[in-house]
Amino acid sequence: MDARSRNHVTVTGRSGGPVVMLAHGFGCDQNMWRLVVPALERDFTVVLFDHVGAGGSDLTAWSRRRYSTLDGYADDVLELCRELALGPVTFVGHSVSAMMGVLAAAREPEAFAGLVLLAPSPCFIDDPEAGYRGGFSAEDIDELLESLEANYLGWSGAMAPVIMGNPDRPELGEELTNSFCRTDPEIARLFARVTFLSDNRTDLAKVGVPTLVAQCSSDAIAPPEVGAFVHAQIPGSRLVTLNATGHCPQLAAPEETAAAIAAFAGASQ
């Protein structure tokens, strides 16, 4: 099967324009970018896709072996870049997809004009000996994964509003909950383990393409120290703190998020 079909690729925007590829995070699909796309497609060719196991992707392409690490997802990103043959892309990775972009760009830098790491985290677990704060203790993550594996739908209803933040806008948390609940539980359980147990801190220094680290001003999943760490580890990267709060600025503050992506992607070409 070709990568375009496997990953349910959508290409929109200005033909021949600089290419922006948008990659969604855990429990989501390309629909999570719908509020950002209109502002980008005026000036850019916009590539949207679903990770295998999410949205409209081909579920028969999912295998526990391939997707038991982030490398399998990074392989998919590189296959998409080669198959679409649109030239170097600015890859925008939200949350766990940020590290997929890091791995892909370290492996084949020529495929990328730049990276936008939106609310990234190279490691969610604190490492006190190294002076690293990821936001969670190992015990926190163990409890989170145990709860998810025991009752995925219940976990989704409880965690999605926390991840989304913005308690004064409950419709955002409800949308994320519904997105989580559309994901096959078996796939979600493995993807959650990959997301929350991966440690990509040493991969950051391997990135050699222009990089924007975009963190939110308040984020229960990726605190400001994480964004600062990513920025410090990637040579020549830029760090911007959005006014947006929560872990999903593409929904909570789409205009601000689109403007940050556009300004960086335009300058990276």
- Listed residue (13, 11, 18, 9) closest to 39, CA to CA: 13
In the residue annotation, 51 being an active-site residue is answered as no
CB 227, CB 116: distance < 8 Å: no
H or E stretch at 91: strand 89-94
- For the question of residue 95 being annotated catalytic, the response is yes
Distances (CA, A) of 235 to 89, 215, 232: 19, 17, 7
Q: How far is CA 190 from CA 13, 124, 149, 200, in A?
A: 34, 16, 9, 17
Q: Which of 176, 202, 26 is nearest to 98 (CA)?
A: 26
Write b or e for each residue in 154-192: b if 16 or more Cβ atoms lie within 10 A of its Cβ, otherwise e: ebbbebbbebbbbeeeeebbebbbebbeebebebbbbbb
Q: Which of 50, 75, 126, 219 is catalytic?
A: 219
What the block records as the tokens of 149 is 């594996």
Examine the residue annotation and report whether 219 is marked as an active-site residue of this protein: yes
The active-site residue, picked from 24, 51, 94, 247, is: 247
Q: Which of 95, 97, 237, 268 is catalytic?
A: 95
SS (H, E, C) 193-208: HHHHHCCCHHHHHHCC
> Active-site residues: which are they?
95, 219, 247
